[in-house]
């Protein structure tokens, strides 16, 4: 029996993705449950597992754009892998053979499907651009030389393998730990560290510049950021907050909290709760423009930006008004772990009313976040720094954090934005307010 491996449905808005990597070689034996490939879409990255055991015939190459439902491989369930017979007994490095054969086979397979014009083939060879990934303007969607040239204008030879290129700004050295660094979302600790790898690679290449194709995720990020900037009147307001009360509270409660809930009490739950309180006080921020209408949200689903090796994603914590501190912390950890494994689903990213972004984990002192449309506000958290401040006529040293609120000025007035941010400041500087719904 020959079973087909199809790209699974990943949510209604996703129609295609790019196979970033095959984990098996063409013609090799796979077992049910084996990891076959990684698929990246503009929203999520997912993994495909084998549903059958048998010999796999791979029909789509690494980097191919594939559609949902497309057959990307076949698994022959009746035969055993023929590799042992093919491989000469005395092959000293069988692994190299198997590692190289699939790509050559892939090229042959592709040649069978649609012959490209000679000029297109030359450009494909020279630039490394796979014509199959382009939308052809020629007859029947054929890729023309012009298509290749315009693709090449944006993306010259692929010198760096795609998975080594980080979509995030490459160099953000971890700042020397200022004493009370907020405990970051677990994943974020890892993200920047992973990103150092490509940076190093880039510096090591001989070329002064090098180019690579944008991944669908990065392209989507770029699109959304520009669209947010173009379509909303984004303005930012700033404040600063004394973190010592929250830090004191965490210190006092940490042992009991861990003992009772099995996880640590972080900063994020405070900010999520503070945002809920502020959204209740200033409902305009929990509203959004839809065409000619204003949609007022009466729920509190809050997105928490999480850096991943592939880019920033914003999973949404539902009904934060009804969640306890430990429940919020658990959700954040849950998402962070899923993100690390590339298992965030599209439904995890949808429907938030407000976003919290913590640039502080990377050491940012101050920034103006861009809102996540159609939301109307985003809170930027930053680095905690000990700074001298005046308190009751005295200069004292306090762990301070700058807060930024970017908001859509079309729907939120300045007064409301400032009130919102001051409300958060009050909640963080006096967390007991959160207990009383103030």
Could you list the active site residues?
Answer: 409, 413
Q: Rounded to the nearest whole angstrom, what is the least distance from the CB of residue 125 to other proteins in the complex?
A: 12
Q: Is residue 215 close enough to count as binding other proteins by CB under 8 A?
A: no
Nearer to other proteins among residue 118 and residue 437 (C-beta):
118
Residue closest to 153 by CA, chosen among 129, 119, 169: 129
- Edge-to-edge strand list for the sheet holding 45-49: 45-49, 35-40, 16-22, 65-67
Backbone phi, then psi, for 234, in 5-degree steps?
Answer: -85, 130
Contact between 122 and other proteins (CB under 8 A)?
A: yes
By the rule CB under 8 A, 139 interacts with other proteins: yes
Residue 146 in contact with other proteins, rule: CB under 8 A: yes
CA nearest 132: which of 81, 64, 189?
Answer: 64
d(CA 372, CA 232): 10
Stretch that binds other proteins, among 68-76, 114-122, 187-195, 395-403 (CB under 8 A): 114-122
Among 145, 338, 340, 410, binds other proteins (CB under 8 A): 145
Establish if 363 lies at the interface with other proteins (CB under 8 A).
Answer: no
* Residue 280 interacts with other proteins (CB under 8 A): yes or no: no
Minimum CB distance to other proteins, residue 111 (Å): 16
By CB under 8 A, tell whether 152 contacts other proteins. no
Helix, coil or strand: residue 235 = strand
Segment contacting other proteins by CB under 8 A, of 20-28, 143-151, 170-178, 226-234: 143-151
Under rule CB under 8 A, how many of the chain's residues touch other proteins? 15
Residue 343 makes contact with other proteins by CB under 8 A: no
Question: Of these, 33, 138, 161, 351, which contacts other proteins (CB under 8 A)?
Answer: 138
Torsion of CA 224, 229, 235, 239, to 10 degrees: 40
- Asked whether 381 and 271 are in contact (CB, 8 A), the reply is yes
Alpha-carbon gap, residue 8 to 19, rounded angstroms = 12
- The CA–CA distances, whole Å, from 47 to 25, 229, 274, 335, 370 equal 16, 33, 36, 17, 30
Shortest CB 146 distance to other proteins, Å? 3
By the rule CB under 8 A, 244 interacts with other proteins? no
- Report d(CA 38, CA 44) in Å as an integer: 11
Q: Does 136 bind other proteins (CB under 8 A)?
A: yes
The stretch among 75-83, 146-154, 159-167, 182-190 that binds other proteins (CB under 8 A) is 146-154
Q: Please, what is the minimum distance in Å from the beta carbon of residue 132 to other proteins?
A: 16
**Residue 174 DSSP one-character state:** P
* Cα–Cα dist 239/392, whole Å: 19
DSSP state, residue 12: T
Residues in region 68-97 near other proteins by CB under 8 A: none
Nearest to 312 by CA among 406, 404, 220, 197: 220
Does residue 118 bind other proteins (CB under 8 A)?
A: yes
Closer of 139 and 208 to other proteins (Cβ): 139
Residue of the chain from 96, 119, 258, 438 that contacts other proteins (CB under 8 A): 119
Where do the H-state alpha helices sit in 76-215? 83-86, 94-113, 118-127, 145-154, 186-204
Task: Mark the segment that binds other proteins (CB under 8 A) among 48-56, 118-126, 202-210, 398-406.
Answer: 118-126
According to DSSP, residue 159 is labeled -
CB of 107 to other proteins, least distance (A): 19
**Cis preceding linkage at 48, omega within 30:** no
Contact assessment for residue 382 and residue 402, using Cβ atoms and an 8 Å cutoff: yes
Taking CB under 8 A as the criterion, the residue among 2, 137, 205, 296 binding other proteins is 137
**Residue 64 C-beta: closest distance to other proteins, Å:** 22
Among 149, 225, 235, 346, binds other proteins (CB under 8 A): 149
Q: Which is nearer to other proteins, 112 or 153 (CB)?
A: 153
The encoded tokens of residue 402 equal 């700058």
Regarding 433 and contact with other proteins (CB under 8 A), the answer is no
Q: CB of 19 within 8 A of CB of 64?
A: yes
For other proteins, the binding residues (CB under 8 A) are: 117-120, 122, 136-139, 142, 144-146, 149-150
């Amino acid at each position: 029996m020959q079973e087909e491996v199809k790209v699974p449905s990943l949510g209604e808005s996703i129609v295609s993705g790019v196979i970033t990597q095959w984990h098996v070689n063409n013609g090799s034996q796979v077992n049910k449950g084996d990891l076959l490939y990684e698929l990246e879409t503009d929203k999520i990255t997912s993994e495909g597992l084998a549903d059958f055991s048998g010999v796999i015939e791979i029909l789509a190459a690494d980097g191919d754009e594939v559609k949902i439902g497309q057959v990307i491989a076949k698994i022959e369930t009746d035969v055993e892998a023929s590799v042992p017979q093919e491989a000469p007994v005395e092959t000293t490095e069988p692994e190299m053979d198997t590692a190289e054969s699939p790509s050559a086979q892939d090229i042959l397979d592709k040649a069978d499907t649609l012959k490209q014009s000679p000029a297109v083939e030359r450009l494909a060879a020279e630039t490394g651009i796979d014509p199959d990934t382009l939308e052809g303007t020629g007859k029947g969607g054929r890729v023309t030389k012009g298509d290749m040239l315009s693709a090449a204008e944006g993306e010259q030879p692929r010198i760096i393998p795609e998975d080594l290129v980080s979509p995030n700004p490459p160099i953000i050295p971890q700042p020397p730990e200022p004493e009370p660094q907020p405990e970051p979302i677990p994943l974020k600790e890892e993200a920047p560290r992973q990103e150092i790898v490509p940076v190093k690679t880039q510096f090591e290449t001989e070329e002064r510049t090098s180019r690579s194709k944008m991944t669908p995720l990065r392209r989507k990020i770029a699109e959304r950021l520009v669209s947010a900037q173009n379509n909303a009147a984004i303005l930012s307001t700033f404040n600063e907050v004394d973190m010592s009360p929250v830090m004191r509270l965490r210190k006092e409660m940490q042992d009991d909290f861990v003992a009772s809930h099995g996880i640590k009490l972080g900063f994020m739950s405070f900010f999520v709760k503070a945002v809920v309180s502020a959204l209740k006080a200033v409902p305009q921020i929990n509203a959004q423009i839809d065409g000619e209408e204003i949609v007022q949200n009466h729920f509190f689903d809050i997105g928490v930006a999480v850096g991943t090796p592939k880019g920033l994603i914003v999973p949404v914590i539902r009904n934060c008004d009804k969640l306890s501190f430990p429940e919020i912390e658990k959700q954040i950890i849950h998402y962070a772990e899923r993100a690390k494994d590339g298992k965030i689903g599209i439904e995890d990213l949808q429907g938030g009313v407000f976003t919290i972004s913590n640039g502080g984990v990377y050491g940012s002192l101050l920034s103006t976040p861009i809102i996540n449309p159609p939301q109307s506000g985003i809170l930027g958290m930053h680095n905690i720094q000990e700074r001298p401040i005046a308190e009751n006529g005295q200069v004292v040293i306090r762990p301070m954090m700058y807060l930024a609120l970017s908001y859509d000025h079309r729907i939120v007035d300045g007064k409301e934005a400032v009130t919102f941010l001051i409300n958060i400041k009050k909640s963080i500087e006096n967390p007991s307010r959160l207990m009383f719904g103030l």
